[in-house]
Amino acid sequence: MRPSRRATDPPRTPLAPDPTRRRLTAREREIALLVGDGLKDAAIAKCLGLAATTTRSYIRQILQRLGLKDRGELVAWVAARRHSGHPEAGLRRARDDPSG
């Protein structure tokens, strides 16, 4: 028999991972990096050979997955993970990666 919870017990933490820590797809990471570099939607679209509307859709999806509210927060998110020991530091481009 399990003991009952008291009102003074701390709340239980959910077992599911924090939604802001979900991994991005390779394409989403690529677009996030370009947003982090300060490129506008049209420039990102041209660079990747996408339509501007597709680029905007990707950015909306990235913001939603990470729980961010705007492009500025995405830029900060990328900057915080680009050169740190953070698990999402995989945001570095392959040519920036010292291991390869």
pLDDT in tens, 42-69: 999 999 999 999 999 999 999 999 999 9
- Architecture of domain 25-84 in this structure: Orthogonal Bundle (1.10)
**Whole-number Å distance between alpha carbons of 2 and 90:** 42
Q: What length does the chain have? A: 100
Picking from 73, 46, 47, 49, the residue whose alpha carbon sits closest to that of residue 59 is: 73
Which class for 38: exposed (0-12), middle (13-18), buried (19 or more C-beta within 10 A)?
A: exposed
Which pLDDT score, from 0 to 100, does residue 76 have?
92
Of the listed ranges 6-10, 37-41, 56-60, 78-82, the least confidently predicted one is 6-10
* Residue 22 main-chain phi, psi, to 5 deg: -60, 145
Q: Decide which of 93 and 60 is more confident.
A: 60
Residue 90 has pLDDT above 60, yes or no: no
DSSP code string of 64-78: HHHT--SHHHHHHHH
Nearest to 87 by CA among 36, 24, 30, 35: 24
Q: Which of 9-23, 37-51, 62-76, 85-99 is least confident?
A: 85-99
Q: Which of 24-28, 29-33, 82-86 has the lowest mean pLDDT?
A: 82-86
- Please state the domain extents for the chain: 25-84
Q: Binning pLDDT at 50, 70 and 90, where does residue 80 land?
A: confident
